[in-house]
Amino acid sequence: MRNVKKQPERPVLITNAARSQGDQLRTRQIRYVTMMGIRSLCLILGAVLISIQPPLLPVWLILCALGMVLLPWMAVLIANDRPPKSRENPAAPQPQHTTQTMIATEGEEEIQHRTIDVEP
C-alpha cells in the first residue's frame, strides 16, 4: 500500500504573502525623498529665520541645524531598512518534508526501486 502525501493543514493565503522587493524598494525611496525634502525645508527655514530675526533665534537655528545634520543619517538608515523576517513572513519557503521523513513514510521496496534519470 502506498502512502499518500498529506496536504498542509491550512492553505497559504495570498493576503499573507510578503510584499514584493520592488514594492518595498519604492516605499523606501519615497521615505528617503520625503526626509530629504524636510531637510531642504530646514535649510530654507533657517535662511528665512535669519532674515526676519524672530525672538529666540539661536534656539530656532539650532533646531534647523540639527534637522539638516541628523535627517540625512536617519534617511539612509530608514531607506536601507527592510521589514523584519517573522514566522508568518519567512525569507524563503521552508521544506515540509525532509529526506528522513520521506524514507520513514515510504516502504523499503519503493526506495530500492526508485530511479532518477537526468537528461542534459
pLDDT in tens, 76-105: 888 888 776 666 555 555 555 555 555 555
Q: Give percent of the chain above pLDDT 90.
A: 38
pLDDT at 115 over 60: yes
* One-character DSSP codes across 20-79: PHHHHHHHHHHHHHHHHHHHHHHHHHHHHHHHH--TTHHHHHHHHHHHHHHHHHHHHHHH
Q: How confident is the model at residue 120 (pLDDT cuts 50, 70, 90)?
A: low
- pTM of the predicted model as reported, rounded to 2 decimal places: 0.55
Q: How far is CA 54 from CA 28, 61, 65, in A?
A: 36, 11, 16
Q: How confident is the model at residue 24 (pLDDT cuts 50, 70, 90)?
A: confident
